[in-house]
Amino acid sequence: MNRMITCAIHLLALMLVPALAVAQEATSPEAFYRGRQVSLIVGSGTGGGYDSYARLVARHLGRHMPGGANVIVQNMPGAGSLNMTNYVYNVAPRDGSVLGAPQNGVAFEPLFHLLSEGGKTARFDPLKMNWIGSSAKENFIPFVMDHTGVTRFEELRTKPMRFGASSPNTDNGILALLLNRMFGMKIDIIHGYPGSTGSLIIALEQKEIDGLAGMPYASLRVNASHLMDQKRLVFLTQIGLKKHRELPDVPLLIDAAANEADRNVLTAVIARYEMARPVFAAPDVAAGRIAALRVAFATMVGDSAFLKDADTQKLDIELVRGEEIETIVADIYRLPPDLVERVKSVISLNN
């Protein structure tokens, strides 16, 4: 009997989804968003990079939305943004009044399983998420402190270094594994620095660690500007598809790939940084509202007030449209199984 009731509920839900979509489309985006409070839920704690970008977006997005919505930020940290993403995808209203700002790797959790065993706690389909846009791409910059005497990337193959990371599944932990496994580096990965950026910078200054496997260049300018000004950071390579405009002489890691297979692995890993600060809405939101949100987001990123605000905070800005994020995500999910397993073998602590 219980099984029959459950099936009936599921059938009713499936029947209601089209009706909900029709009802949403009957209300224009302008009428829906006029005076409405929209929640932008961040899957990270306050004070970090994801939070900074989300609050920047929240301050400016509303005035570009039809009807002039009021966008507020809420933080829902936990499980590398899985908690927030599961909530927005499955629980929050599916009407365009709730948006999510996850960590960029979450989109690939069902495939690469970095945050949960077998990806079991990722209760969402990234191919069904309505991607609104990203306000940045990022290059992660592996670096060491000047006192180490290391000046070139290749030296990490022969000279042991201590690199810090908040946890194995943060970018610094993942990228340090990648450097060791793909390039034969002798990096001792030291986990457990809470609060991510701030505690890592202190550890560098106190010589507890020698460097990091990567930090976004914008984050370095904000959190380690004093070390950069004192020329105490030695940039070894860039993890991105193209060089940062301020680092023309720092080589790209992808150019050091030994062969085409390794280059494909690196391209798959770098995909998350090509959509560095993504924003999404749940499935079943009316197509008209998604289109309006995407236009508003793209218009916002080109707005002079938005760019001035970002410059004040030293945040790098580069628009990645929602349609582009859809393509990035779809391309990764089309990778052949052997390449997926190779990527997992390189970046997963369980391999």
Note the pLDDT of residue 1: 45
Query: What stretch of H or E contains 148?
Result: none
CA nearest to 348, candidates 104, 107, 109 = 109
Query: Which parts of 92-228 are beta strand (E)?
Result: 98-101, 130-134, 143-145, 161-165, 187-191, 211-212
Kindly state whether residues 83 and 156 are assigned to the same domain: no
Kindly state whether residues 65 and 103 are assigned to the same domain: yes
Kindly state whether residues 117 and 152 are assigned to the same domain: no
pLDDT tens, 82-97? Answer: 999 999 999 999 999 9
How far apart are alpha carbons 103 and 318 in whole angstroms? Answer: 17
The tokens 């930090």 sit on which residue? Answer: 215
Q: Is the pLDDT of residue 348 over 90?
A: no
Q: What is the domain extent for residue 215? A: 143-271
* CB-facing half-sphere around the CA of 306: CA atoms within 13 A: 26
pLDDT tens, 110-134? Answer: 999 999 888 999 999 999 999 999 9
Note the pLDDT of residue 21: 54
More confident residue, 150 or 8: 150
Note the pLDDT of residue 3: 46
Give a yes or no: residue 120 inside a domain. Answer: yes
Final residue before a domain boundary, out of 271, 306, 339: 271
Give a yes or no: residue 10 inside a domain. Answer: no
Instruction: Tell how strand 233-235 and strand 143-145 pair up.
Output: antiparallel
Kindly state whether residues 85 and 127 are assigned to the same domain: yes
Q: Is the pLDDT of residue 6 over 70?
A: no
Kindly state whether residues 30 and 128 are assigned to the same domain: yes
CATH value at residue 133: 3.40.190.150
Q: Is the pLDDT of residue 194 over 80?
A: no
Give a yes or no: residue 91 inside a domain. Answer: yes
Note the pLDDT of residue 170: 86
Give a yes or no: residue 66 inside a domain. Answer: yes
Q: What does pTM read for this prediction? A: 0.89
Kindly state whether residues 128 and 187 are assigned to the same domain: no
Sign of the Cα torsion 48, 50, 51, 56 reads positive
For residue 200, give the amino acid letter. L
pLDDT tens, 242-251? Answer: 999 999 999 9
What average pLDDT does the structure give for the chain? 92
pLDDT tens, 196-241? Answer: 688 899 999 999 999 999 899 988 988 899 999 999 999 999 999 9
pLDDT mean over 172-180:
95
Number of domains in the chain: 2
Final residue before a domain boundary, out of 241, 271, 301: 271
Q: Is the pLDDT of residue 167 over 90?
A: no
pLDDT mean over 48-59:
94
pLDDT tens, 308-346? Answer: 999 999 999 999 999 999 999 999 999 999 999 999 999
